[in-house]
Structure 1
Amino acid sequence: MEVITLHHPFDAATIADEPVVLAMGFFDGVHAGHRAVINRAKAEATARGVKLAVLTYDQHASVVFTAHQHPLTYLTTLPRKLTLLAEMGVDVVYVVNFTSALAKLAPVDFVEQYMIGLHATAVVAGFDHTYGASDAHADMSHLPGYAAGRFDVIEVSRVDVDGEESASTRARQLVDAGQVDALNELLTQPYQTSGVVVHGEARGREMGYPTANIETAPGERLPGVGVYVVELEIAGKWYGGMASIGYNVTFGENRPKTVEINLFDFAQEIYGERVNVRWHHYIRGEEKFTGMDALIAKLQEDESVSRRFLAEV
């Protein structure tokens, strides 16, 4: 898959003069609704005998329009998004830098530069997709008028999962609430984050449950506090285990938030390894125990639940 970064204004001469079917969207999460758009575009590209291209953005539009007290986090950072798009069979991805200059571009000019300019024979997007400067004429209902017969417009209807709209907003709510089971149905696959294995306090080892402490990659959105069934990828191989996101409240107040993963039947030292985490199932919330014995008993229950779940994955 070819990845081309565009900064507004870009030089149209750098774009290959070949027709494409162009799917458009931010695609954070690449959830069921996004997949409907991309798969519809893929079918159209196949029927026309042209390449499937995706136009997406390097960051959320709100970076330009509003102040944020904390750094933005994403369901899929750009590298993860590109991996998922490649898996879906996309040929070319145009990653557009979302800047103030781009945000001010009138919808008609956006069409000329980023649809006609990318040689789209058809543009495919969701029913709620917008483009160019935010105004009443930047929606899908006005796009055929801007196209003026130069390319086809294919609007993909709303996709529901379990009776609710498949949308990135809902996906973020599910992540924050720790509801990874419902989230994974919306994403059509397990939610995934990444990070580096770092040193922790080694308390897990004392209890017979040694943990890999994960420093999460910047920009990634962690599930809410709780205990989960997970898999951890190390050097291309996946291992089952259970994870705790929380503050280790049993051992004191005002502690830092940590991500700790106990891997089953695993005894290697993996400090410094770059890893990926699949979040499969929420087990319980964080609890404060009266002592080490009570915590160990609960960990044994968590392990039993996790092993049963993983045996069916």
Structure 2
Amino acid sequence: MRTIHVGYPIEKIIQQNSEPSVMALGFFDGVHLGHQEIIKSAKAIADQKNLQLAVMTFYPHPSTVINKGEQITRYLTPLPVKEKMFKKLGVDLLYVVKFERKTAKVSHKDFVDDYLYGLHCRHAVAGFDYTYGFKGEGNMAQLNLDAEGRFGVTTVEKMEKHSHKVSSTLLRELISSGQVEHVPSYLGGRYEMQGVLRQENHQYRMYIDADYFLPSPGTYEVTLKNGPVVTKGMCEVSSSDRPGALTISTFYDLPFEDHAPIQLLWENFIADYDMNTFHAQLPLDEMELSISE
């Protein structure tokens, strides 16, 4: 997979060297089941048309530039992790658009002309709630108009599980309230982080990308994996932790070498950080899901 970083205005050489593709559109934080459905739909069309499979995403999250609603600065999948996941899903080309103030001002029509048609998109695929262009004025109905017959458009409908829309917003709500055990229903697997484990003063520290979105403070049961080697442990999350470092204790002697690359899977909440007997978690059915992604 090739990763191509794109700014504004888009460089002509990037447009000239772009390959005809079917392009999946979205921010794709978490690459959850709904995102995977979008990419699978795009891949099926790409295979049928014998075209490259492309994904276009943005970095950083548009909310860091557009002063509207919650500002998202931590991610379920930091960009390097997201790249690995796209590669596993068979993506050939990844376009990462740098999102800044001048990008936010691009009209929906210019966005389609420069970033889709200009990059030789032959078919665009996105979720039903995808928006683009200045103030999000472009939506999937508008995309059909802006395409002007130059490329096809496919809309992937809303995916629901347990009467909830599968979304990055829902996953953040679950994780931020400590309900990591509910995540697999929407993500397709345990919430996972990748990092390096080091022993420090009879404890272990796992060093991760500082951009990861952490669960609420508390103690969690976790699984640690290095290839086929797996062990269980506890991870303490504190609001005083420095970004990019987690404190971990294991139930058994650690089977990994120091500085080993580790996958950490969040299993269950055990107790809040002060080890009190209850933890104020929001019931799943009471969560307000107001932001679509």
The normalised TM-score by structure 2 is 0.84
* CA RMSD of superposed structures (Å): 2.7
Residue 287 of structure 1: CA displacement?
Answer: 4.7
> Which of 249, 253, 263 is the equivalent residue of 1:276?
263
* Superposition misfits of 4+ residues, deviation over 6 angstroms: 67-71
Q: Percent identity?
A: 32
2:150 maps to: 150
Between the aligned partners of 1:70 and 1:199, the Cα distance in structure 2 is 34
Between the aligned partners of 1:268 and 1:238, the Cα distance in structure 2 is 7
Aligned length: 273
1:133–1:237 CA distance, 2 compared to 1 (3 A): same
Q: Over alpha carbons, which structure has the higher Rg?
A: 1
Contact persistence 2:159–2:166 (CA under 8 A) = yes
1:244 maps to: 235
Matches within 5 A, 1:195-234: 195-198=195-198, 200=200, 202=202, 211-234=203-226
1:23–1:221 CA distance, 2 compared to 1 (3 A): same
Contact persistence 2:224–2:233 (CA under 8 A) = no
Mean Cα deviation higher: 34-43 or 16-25: 16-25
Match of 2:123, SS state, is strand
1:75–1:224 CA distance, 2 compared to 1 (3 A): same
Paired letter, 1:233 = K
1:49 maps to: 50
Residue 107 of structure 1: CA displacement?
Answer: 0.4
Note the alpha carbon deviations across 1:240-289, whole angstroms, 9 max, x for none: 21223245xxxxxx975873323344346855444331112334444548
Residue 71 of structure 1: CA displacement?
Answer: 8.2
Matched, 1:63 2:54: no
Paired letter, 1:170 = L
Match of 1:239, SS state, is strand
Matched, 1:189 2:189: yes
Contact persistence 2:61–2:72 (CA under 8 A) = no
1:91 maps to: 92
2:120 maps to: 119
Contact persistence 1:226–1:246 (CA under 8 A) = yes
Match of 1:65, SS state, is coil
Contact persistence 2:24–2:56 (CA under 8 A) = yes
Between the aligned partners of 1:6 and 1:105, the Cα distance in structure 2 is 14
1:8 maps to: 8
Residue 198 of structure 1: CA displacement?
Answer: 4.8
Contact persistence 1:197–1:275 (CA under 8 A) = yes
Note the alpha carbon deviations across 1:88-144, whole angstroms, 9 max, x for none: 111110011111111100000000001101111110001111111115x31111111
Between the aligned partners of 1:269 and 1:108, the Cα distance in structure 2 is 53
1:129–1:256 CA distance, 2 compared to 1 (3 A): closer
Between the aligned partners of 2:13 and 2:97, the Cα distance in structure 1 is 16
2:76 maps to: 75
Contact persistence 1:239–1:264 (CA under 8 A) = no
1:68–1:198 CA distance, 2 compared to 1 (3 A): farther
Paired letter, 2:268 = H
Which structure is higher in helix share? 1
Match of 1:117, SS state, is helix
Contact persistence 1:224–1:245 (CA under 8 A) = no
The normalised TM-score by structure 1 is 0.79
Contact persistence 2:56–2:95 (CA under 8 A) = yes
1:305 maps to: none
Match of 2:39, SS state, is helix
Between the aligned partners of 1:255 and 1:132, the Cα distance in structure 2 is 38
1:267–1:104 CA distance, 2 compared to 1 (3 A): closer
